[in-house]
Structure 1
Amino acid sequence: MLIATAGLPGAGKSSVADALARRTGWPVLSVDPVEAALLRAGVGADQPTGLAAYLAVEAVAEHQLRLGQTVLVDAVNAAPEARAQWEDLALRTGTTVAFVEVICSDPELHRQRLESRRRDLGEFPEPHWDSLGQRREQLAGWTGPRLVVDTVGDVDDLADALVTELTGRS
């Protein structure tokens, strides 16, 4: 199975993906560290590093799926084209895709998380709260099937429930 997270930066996607991985052993393929590595390698910030990171993660995910592994993709996936990428990958590999939209329903908590996070990603720029508008709109317009989880509560409890839900789908 291919599991792809979606949601705004700072909503808790990585926390959910990591908690799922700790419980299941499923590999987490995260787009942001790949993009940060591209920047460290000297790929210019004026280049489409975000697209390159999505494509690199897709290549690794495809390999793992063809080996019969369940894969977790940790990415914003706000744009319909990004979500279509994972749907196409699932079709190509004969697997199912499950989207998990991660939200933080408390705007103040979400903003605090985003503004205080310090990931070890070198020069990779962290988004600012005020820059999330287009992504918010894209996610608000999403009508496709997905599990929606709210990270205001305990992430470990949330992960336990998700494991049950997701393993029942495979």
Structure 2
Amino acid sequence: MNQPILYIFSGLPASGKSTLAKLLATKTGAMYVRIDTVEQGLRDLCRFKVEGEGYRLSYRIIRDNLALGISCISDSCNPIELTRNEWQDVAESVGARFVNIEVSCSDRAEHELRVNTRQCEVVNLTLPNWQQVQSRHYESWKTEVIKIDTSGKNVDQSFAELTEKLAV
């Protein structure tokens, strides 16, 4: 059996990470988990304020699948070193490999346009506005990460860059 891989996506809202993560899931057959979906599901079903619960529940789901030999994709802002390390620990706990992927849009005007015009894919989720995206706490990476800047590129170009860097 091949060693499964956990593809750990990170980046600010509207950078293009979910689009690329879903395309990678389709190409590789990896299981896809979007933290926004998990967190909104917890809000809708359990009626409580969600903080770290979405991540912690997703760690368990992904760990179970990695243990079965199924590669997985985690799609989240993943803005702090703590969650980045926890994702890596999930993979390592079952002998899986992991790849950190940071998606950004370096063109401020293009990023703002994306934030202001995107459609919500998660039922009942309230998307952040531009001011909320700009003020979001997001730490610089201190470990190895594949960086994809989607600014000035279409989806196909960005995905081609990602698959080339991943060699998939």
TM-score bucket of the superposed structures, by smaller chain: 0.7 to 0.9
Aligned partners of 2:134, 2:18: CA distance in 1, in Å? Answer: 21
TM-score by length of 2: 0.87
Name the counterpart of 1:98. 99
- Which structure shows the bigger proportion of residues in helix conformation? 1
Aligned partners of 1:79, 1:23: CA distance in 2, in Å? Answer: 28
Name the counterpart of 1:154. 154
Q: Please, which runs of 5 or more residues in structure 1 have no aligned partner? A: none
Q: Please, which runs of 5 or more residues in structure 2 have no aligned partner? A: none
How far 1:157 moved relative to its partner? 3.1
How far 1:8 moved relative to its partner? 0.4
Name the counterpart of 1:72. 73
How far 1:60 moved relative to its partner? 1.1
Q: Where do residues 113-132 of structure 1 align in structure 2 (5 Å cutoff)?
A: 113-132=114-133
Name the counterpart of 1:2. 6
Number of aligned positions between the proteins: 163
Q: Where do residues 41-60 of structure 1 align in structure 2 (5 Å cutoff)?
A: 41-44=45-48, 47=49, 49-60=50-61
- Do structure 1's residue 84 and structure 2's residue 85 form an aligned pair? yes
Tell me how large the CA RMSD over aligned residues is. 1.8
- The alignment-based identity, stated in percent, is 28
How far 1:99 moved relative to its partner? 0.7
The superposition leaves residues 111-156 of structure 1 with CA deviations (integer Å, 9 ceiling, x where unpaired) of 11112222143432211221234545x33x3221100001121222
